[in-house]
Amino acid sequence: MAPLCQGLDAVGWRTVTARGLGGGLSALGDLPVEALIVDGRLPDAADWSRALKQAARPRALPVLAVAAPVASDPDAFDLVMSGAGHPAQVRLRLENLMRGAVAEEEIALRATTFGARGVRLQPAEPDPSPLRILAAGPPDHRVLALSNVLAEHGCDVVAAPTPYTAFDYLHERAFDAAVLWSGPDRAPAQSIAAGMRRNTRLQQIPVILYQSGEDPADLADLYGRGFADVAEATVPEPETAARIVALARTYREHQAVRRALEATRGSGLTDPSTGLFTHDLFAAHLARVIEAADARRRPLSVCILRVAPSDELRAARQGGWLDRALPQVGAMISRLIRVEDTAARLSDEVFALALPATDVAESRLVAERIAAVLGCTAFDAGPGARPFTVAFDVGVAQRTSGEAPGALLERASRDALSTPAS
């Protein structure tokens, strides 16, 4: 455990080691602990996990058990790893667990916000059909072995031998996860992952890199390229399959939440052209999110995306083409944000995001990533005219203690004015 903690500290996380249950309870009382890593070899690991989860309420406390049997207690642990794991790998998995916990809390908050206005927000049931997994890469007996285990889990596995067939399938069918076999050449898998990250419809699908283990890999670099997980063929197939199924199931659950929010378009509470929160609804919900962040001792940030002025947009605005493009921009924003984030259209050309459990540095990365994807999209400017793009001024602010929703938004708006689009 000590090398793992040192590795997590080295990548910017702060770890606290508790030698027993009492120490863990003290840490929860004194610090805003976001996740728990337990040594699965300890005889009392499951009991300690349950006790600490209960003590952390109302904050959800995801638990990762390392060096644990694959068939460990699923009620005590949210995720199990048979080894200690690389710090970058563990960090990403913990982030996925934490975002899932925050998403569950956010769903309840949104239901309360809509309910206060007489609209019942009923989360849709996830699609009950088998999880659909894309397995991309040349035929290999190790990929076949993993596919067989996934099939035993009830998954529908579709094989794509080349990047071209992979993208054909991705555009023709809906998938819950993609497993990319790297083998000795990692370039095809990286090209598929990069293409998916540039596509607003495919960007949220979890992508897992399945390595042969024959060549050394820079895991930090791979995770930075957008892979949701990196697994090696040397890891038992049941463990890798369990991780893939967990990511796929979470993605499908989040899609159900998105459908539920989409269904509120006819409620009169959301912006009719984009489906995003209106100014008033966003203000009311932001106050509720702030209250929850205080109760759970979590950070909260907001982002402002304001259409940046340019000669190109001035012409598009005069012809009414910018007005036609902005609903599409809003719809793209709704697909690019994480399910726990809330997006709003504050005015015709200003959008806002509320990002729970997110500090200012991470929020800026999220907002700039969204702005970059939007900035690569060309919009119609009319017959004979060159298509135009939309750049955004991005502003970010992290809430300080006692700060009101309006003051927080105002700080983010001032930040957008001071950091114009490049």
Q: Give the tokens for residue 102.
A: 């925050």
- With 0-12 / 13-18 / 19 or more C-beta atoms within 10 angstroms meaning exposed / middle / buried, residue 266 is exposed
SS3 assignment for the chain: CHHHHHHHHHCCCCCCCCCCHHHHHHHHHHCCCCCEEEECCCCCHHHHHHHHHHHHCCCCCCEEEECCCCCCCCCCCCEECCCCCCHHHHHHHHHHHHHHHHHHHHHHHHHHHHHCCCCCCCCCCCCCCCCEEEEECCCCHHHHHHHHHHHHCCCEEEEECCHHHHHHHHHHCCCCEEEEECCCCCHHHHHHHHHHHCCCCCCCCCEEEEECCCCCCCHHHHHHCCCCEEEECCCCHHHHHHHHHHHHHHHHHHHHHHHHHHHHHHHCCECCCCCCECHHHHHHHHHHHHHHHHHHCCCEEEEEEEECCCHHHHHHHHCCHHHHHHHHHHHHHHHHCCCCCEEEEEECCEEEEEEECCCHHHHHHHHHHHHHHHHCCCECCCCCCCCECCCEEEEEEECCCCCCHHHHHHHHHHHHHHCCCC
Among 40-44, 72-76, 122-126, 356-360, the minimum mean pLDDT is found in 72-76
Q: How does pLDDT run across 240-265, given as a tens digit for each residue?
A: 898 899 889 888 887 887 777 666 66
Looking at the structure, tell me whether residues 6 and 27 fall in a common domain: yes
Looking at the structure, tell me whether residues 146 and 217 fall in a common domain: yes
Q: Choose the final residue of a domain: 213, 237, 260.
A: 260
The answer to the question of residue 116 being in a domain is no
The model's confidence at residue 403, banded by pLDDT at 50, 70 and 90, is very high
Better pLDDT: 358 or 121: 358
Buried b / exposed e across 79-118, counting CB within 10 Å, b at 16+? Answer: bbbbebbbbbbbbbbbbbbbbbbbbebbbebbbebbeeee
Residue 223 has pLDDT above 80, yes or no: no
What is the separation, in whole angstroms, between the first and last Cα of the chain?
A: 44
Looking at the structure, tell me whether residues 68 and 163 fall in a common domain: no
Residue 139 pLDDT: 81
Looking at the structure, tell me whether residues 172 and 34 fall in a common domain: no
Looking at the structure, tell me whether residues 322 and 371 fall in a common domain: yes
Residue 422 has pLDDT above 80, yes or no: no
The answer to the question of residue 109 being in a domain is no
Q: Give the tokens for residue 72.
A: 């460990």
Give percent of the chain with pLDDT exceeding 70.
93
How far apart, in whole angstroms, are the C-alpha atoms of residue 357 and residue 294? 11
Give percent of the chain with pLDDT exceeding 90.
33
Q: Across all residues in the chain, what is the average pLDDT?
A: 85
Residue 264 pLDDT: 67
What average pLDDT does this structure show over 380-408?
Answer: 92
Looking at the structure, tell me whether residues 280 and 389 fall in a common domain: yes
The answer to the question of residue 158 being in a domain is yes
Q: Give the tokens for residue 6.
A: 């040192």
Looking at the structure, tell me whether residues 220 and 338 fall in a common domain: no
Which is nearest to 104 in space by CA: 301, 256, 280, 297? Answer: 256
Residue the block writes with tokens 């069918």: 173
Looking at the structure, tell me whether residues 246 and 278 fall in a common domain: no
Residue 71 pLDDT: 52
Sorted by sequence, the CB contacts under 8 Å of residue 394 that are 6+ apart come out as 303, 304, 305, 364, 367, 368, 371, 416, 419, 421
Residue 204 pLDDT: 82
CA distances from 146 to 70, 135, 165, 184 (A): 15, 10, 20, 18
The model's confidence at residue 85, banded by pLDDT at 50, 70 and 90, is low
Looking at the structure, tell me whether residues 75 and 166 fall in a common domain: no
Domain assignment of residue 365, given as a range: 270-418
SS3 assignment for 32-58: CCCCEEEECCCCCHHHHHHHHHHHHCC
User: Domain of 174: which CATH number?
Assistant: 3.40.50.2300
Looking at the structure, tell me whether residues 385 and 246 fall in a common domain: no
Better pLDDT: 123 or 40: 40
Computed over its alpha carbons, how large is the radius of gyration of the chain? 22
Looking at the structure, tell me whether residues 175 and 252 fall in a common domain: yes
User: Domain of 306: which CATH number?
Assistant: 3.30.70.270
Q: How does pLDDT run across 161-190, given as a tens digit for each residue?
A: 888 899 999 999 999 999 998 877 788 888
Q: How does pLDDT run across 335-369, given as a tens digit for each residue?
A: 888 888 999 999 999 999 999 999 999 999 999 99
Catalogue the long-range contacts made by 367-373 (C-beta closer than 8 Å, 24 or more residues apart): 367/303, 367/305, 367/394, 367/396, 368/394, 369/336, 370/305, 370/333, 370/336, 370/337, 371/305, 371/421, 373/198, 373/200, 373/203, 373/332, 373/336
The answer to the question of residue 118 being in a domain is no
Looking at the structure, tell me whether residues 282 and 308 fall in a common domain: yes
Which is nearest to 268 in space by CA: 260, 256, 278, 258? Answer: 278
Count structural domains, the chain.
3
The model's confidence at residue 235, banded by pLDDT at 50, 70 and 90, is confident
Q: Choose the final residue of a domain: 86, 111, 143.
A: 86
